[in-house]
Amino acid sequence: MDRYTEIRSFTLVAEKGSFAAAAVVEGVTPVVMGRRLDALEGRLGVRLMHRSTRGLTLTDLGEQFLEQCRQLLRDFDVAESSVSEGRNVVRGHLVVSAPAAFGRHHVAPHAPAFKAKYPELRLSFNLTDSVVDLVREGYDMAIRIGEVTDPNYVPVRLFPNRRVVCGTTAYFERHGVPRVPEDLARHNCLAFNLQGGQQRGWSFMRDGRLFAVRVDGDLDCNDGELLYSWVRQGLGVGWRSTWEIQAELKRGELVTVLDEFAVPSYDIQAVYPQQRYLPAKVRHFIDYLKAIYNAPGYWERGHD
* pLDDT tens-place string over residues 221-249: 888 889 999 999 999 999 999 999 999 99
Identify whether the C-beta of residue 157 lies closer than 8 Å to the C-beta of residue 111: no
CA angle 232/235/236 to nearest 5° reads: 95
Identify whether the C-beta of residue 5 lies closer than 8 Å to the C-beta of residue 36: yes
- Cβ contacts of 151 within 8 Å, gap of 6 or more: 274
In this prediction, residue 195 carries a pLDDT of 45
Which residue stretches of the chain are H helix?
Answer: 3-16, 19-26, 30-44, 60-86, 100-106, 111-117, 134-137, 169-175, 224-232, 242-251, 280-293
Residue 82's pLDDT band (boundaries 50, 70, 90)?
low
Least confident residue range of 76-80, 82-86, 197-201, 290-294: 82-86
Mean pLDDT confidence for 65-88? 75
Identify whether the C-beta of residue 47 lies closer than 8 Å to the C-beta of residue 41: yes
CA angle 166/170/174 to nearest 5° reads: 100
Identify whether the C-beta of residue 242 lies closer than 8 Å to the C-beta of residue 161: yes
Residue 76's pLDDT band (boundaries 50, 70, 90)?
confident
Neighbour count for residue 155 (Cβ, 10 Å): 15
Mean pLDDT confidence for 242-262? 93
Q: Judge whether residue 174 has pLDDT over 90.
A: yes
Residue 303's pLDDT band (boundaries 50, 70, 90)?
low
Domains of the chain: 3-86 (1.10.10.10), 92-160+267-301 (3.40.190.10), 163-261 (3.40.190.10)
Least confident residue range of 53-62, 161-170, 192-201, 203-212: 192-201
162-to-25, 69, 131, 247, 290 alpha-carbon distances in Å? 55, 60, 19, 15, 17
